[in-house]
Amino acid sequence: MNILFIEDEHELLEVGVVQMQQHNTVYPVSNLVDARAIMQDPAMRVQLVVADQRLPDGMGVEFVIEMKALFPDCMYTIVSGCFTDSDISKLEENDISYHRKPLLYAKILEDFRHAHLMKVPCCEAVAVAPCNKVQEIEAPSEEGLVKPEAPKRQKWFGLI
């Protein structure tokens, strides 16, 4: 998964990258100007944006709402230690998840993966290779067949 991680506190940026980088590509930035550049770069293909709420050049909520309109297939979440009622209202109105600091960034990824898997219909979860040729198989005659024995039941620790 390609993750855009926006955090202006240097120590939190480092911690977040370490927690999220296992099996992921993390693009860490500390401002919205750099974040916009990454989102608009087709080579980056961001799938998840984790943004701090209060940044030096703007608010994470407004940035995420803007990006969600441009890139609706991307997933978004906002993190902050000081959400206002207005922030929460905007997030809920726009169906954007949010998390309160302090937090484990790895937990955010786990939650997103779980939520994404829950949305995938069962028939799409299993990929089947296309078959261009159908073969008819003749059923063997019953003369040469050996019928398998039924499995024997065993007791395990007093349970059947």
Q: What is the CATH number of the domain that holds 79?
A: 3.40.50.2300
The confidence score (pLDDT) of residue 110 equals: 85
Report the predicted TM-score, pTM, of the whole model to 2 decimal places: 0.70
Quote the pLDDT of residue 153: 55
Cβ burial of 68 (10 Å; 0-12, 13-18, 19+) is middle
Model pLDDT for residues 49-101, shown as the tens digit of each residue: 999 999 999 999 999 999 999 999 999 999 998 899 999 999 999 999 999 98
pLDDT confidence of 108, banded at 50, 70, 90?
A: confident
Give alpha helix (H) positions in the chain.
10-20, 32-40, 60-70, 85-93, 105-119, 122-125
The reply to whether 49 falls in a domain is yes
Domain count of the fold of the chain: 1
Reported as a single tens digit per residue, the pLDDT across 125-157 is 444 444 444 445 555 555 655 555 655 555 544
Asked, for residue 148, whether it belongs to a domain, the answer is no
Radius of gyration of the chain measured on its C-alpha atoms: 25
- In-domain check, residue 139: no
**Residue 144 falls within a domain, yes or no?**
no
At 127, give phi and psi (nearest 5°): -90, 135
